[in-house]
Structure 1
Amino acid sequence: MKNKADKILALLDLNKSSDAIIKTTANLAKMVGGHIDLLYVKKPVDVVKNENQLSSMRNINRDYIKSRSHIENVIKSVDKDLNINYSLTYGNVKQVVEEHINNTNPDIIVLGKKELNSLKLVGDKLTSFILKKHNGIVLIASNKHVLRYDEDMSLGVLNNLEQPLEDLVKKLMTISQKPIKAFKISKASESDSNNSSEYNKFVEYVFEPNDNALSNLSKYMAKSNIDLLCVNRHAITSKKSGYLDLNSLLNKMNTSIIFAGK
């Protein structure tokens, strides 16, 4: 009996980074055997430039055709064997995204890094909203680098060794032939090595907890060519995390980041 395929929802805004995000989502689907659902939401005010109803409808129609063509061209450039569906809609971003999540119940949600993502909510950023709304895995895809799918994929884990590993992370570990780098922000005297067989592929690196901790970590990850950083969601909200503020983490890291489910 085959395992149920994961449902992967990718949220798009069709900026310059959308192609990379779609291709990262495609590679993720290959890793987990998932189906892809692309959702593009745009506020009508971003398309409609005047109050004339007929002109407004024409503008929306032209934008729809252009956006649909863009998405279909990118889909054609990825693996044809993947099951990829897409939806284009205009309306309130928060409302549309929330309704879509409720109706489709995805296992994994993918979106771009916030600094280049135009899907912003009033009083709340999309990333924070998704992390609060969705109990499953959330992947914040790099806007510059497509997540690779081969044995040279390099994985990192941040402040996470004391928590059980997600099944998805375990799958990624079986693909990568490289040792997983376990990063920890804590005083060296507080770092304990974990001898469990689950962690025998890990090499631990400890960074001193100070204001430059995330900057130093980001520089080291860039030099080490880390493709994906795995972060336990509780490490963001835990008082013990200290320097793992969500906004700082997303701003400092240039790699893709995967947040474990609640």
Structure 2
Amino acid sequence: MPLPLLPLDEFHTVCLPTPMATGQSELPIRIEVFDADGSLQAEKFLGRIGRRESVAIDIDEFLAEAGASLPSGAGHVEFLYDFRDGGGADGWLHALARIEQRETGHRAETIFGAHMFNMPIVFRDEPQSYVGRPPGLTTRLFLRLGDNGADTMCHLLYPASMKWAETSTTDLNLFTGKGEEIASERIRIPRGGSHHIRYSEVFDAATRAKAGDGAYVQIRDATCRLFGFHGLVRPGAAFCLDHMFGY
């Protein structure tokens, strides 16, 4: 169950694992924190969290207590079922993230749910198995682009529950509002890692001007399943964030 860790120098994150299904009485889980390069930096068994309990994890405090850091400056969190003390699971683990822009104190929240990552099997009724069989392990996401001075950010995650491709082969295809492709950039995300994107940094000013208002980016990868979080940001002002839909 992944959540993004946006660049730590700009954003502060607090995560809260939550039950989703009405029949969940507890969550036997642990937390793992990964750098953008895919390396595990810290982990902790959180116990069998009862339905009535709330266990929020302040990432700044968690990393400090673990004596850990994110060398790349960004990364992601994963919550995993952990049965060392018993307990059960139904695949519907969810978690909230409250993310604060350090400079302004502006906050946004997002939520995401459990999946089996980059492996051609399903677990019980976990939410990735919408039709009872493994979906295709490819990616097609659509990224909204800001205007009127707002930049666009996107945080792509490449989690893997089993061994998969060493890196992603991810194309960022820029289209005008009329659906004309005018530019493409390829990035490679390490397995278990992530990549933080700003529209203003991926495509130069001339290309962005050519794309114009109403443009969008198609994120395409035929080698693995990526998950993303996107939003608009105005440095020193405010931002918004949510998870992305589309496979």
Task: Give the TM-score range, shorter chain.
Answer: 0.3 to 0.5
User: By percentage of residues, which structure has more strand?
Assistant: 2
Report the TM-score when normalising by structure 1.
Answer: 0.33
Decide which structure has greater helix share: 1
Report the TM-score, using the length of structure 2 for normalisation.
0.34
Which structure ranks higher in relative contact order (CA pairs < 8 Å, sequence separation ≥ 6)?
Answer: 2
